[in-house]
A and B are shown apart, each in its own frame.
Chain A
Amino acid sequence: SQQGEEDPQALSIQEGENATMNCSYKTSINNLQWYRQNSGRGLVHLILIRSNEREKHSGRLRVTLDTSKKSSSLLITASRAADTASYFCATGRYNTDKLIFGTGTRLQVFP
């Protein structure tokens, strides 16, 4: 069962622009995580935000979480061609070690 839904499904921008991806989910969560996947490879964890946090930064990444709207956004500032990848949100709940992944946003950054 899919909990996370990313929006948009695909995004194309020029280098230097900001990229924003959104994730919506359905049930109560313990945390929300964002992962990146380069073409044909495994996923790499980017950032985790807990349910009692509203915003978190890591380098050029900024994640926000609005539990009242059951939504999160990932902002990548000053995008680079190397940011070209698929980005997935994943929700974690209390008392379980499972994550539920969304369907992902494909980001293309043109040089």
Chain B
Amino acid sequence: DVKVTQSSRYLVKRTGEKVFLECVQDMDHENMFWYRQDPGLGLRLIYFSYDVKMKEKGDIPEGYSVSREKKERFSLILESASTNQTSMYLCASSITGDVGTDTQYFGPGTRLTVL
């Protein structure tokens, strides 16, 4: 079974702090994704990576950056946390499909609260 783990289930930070969210997958997947989930808005893609050191902006990249130094690890960075970044953050991974998107496997999520 694919396993995607996230470094924290719950996190509380203060405005202006630099925040690191870590995600690790153990199935050698090429693609990794960071989403945020807010009530009534569903999942919105922040960034994704299709290879080591490669990244592409999603729909809402402002205020975030990412790092992928190793294939199994994808980090989401909040350079200066703000209260509007309080949310549930979900990491996912997938293989590269032959003709397009394949199934994504999700981590348990990190609920971040910025005070």
| Contacts from A to B (Cβ < 8 Å) | 1-2, 4, 30-31, 33, 35, 40-45, 48, 88, 90, 92-104
Contacts and interface: CB of A to CB of B under 8 A. Distances in A.
B103 interface: yes
A90 B107 CA distance: 17
B101 A42 contact: no
Given A88-B42, A101-B42, A42 B99 contact: no
B35 to A, nearest CB: 8
A44 B2 CA distance: 11
Interface of B: 4, 30-31, 33, 35, 40-43, 45, 48, 50, 58-59, 88, 90, 92, 94, 96-97, 99-109, 111
Given A41-B109, A42-B90, A43-B106, A93 B101 contact: yes
A86 B103 CA distance: 18
Instruction: Name which of B4, B41, B103 has the most chain A CB atoms within 10 A of its CB.
Output: B103
Contacts of A96: 100-101
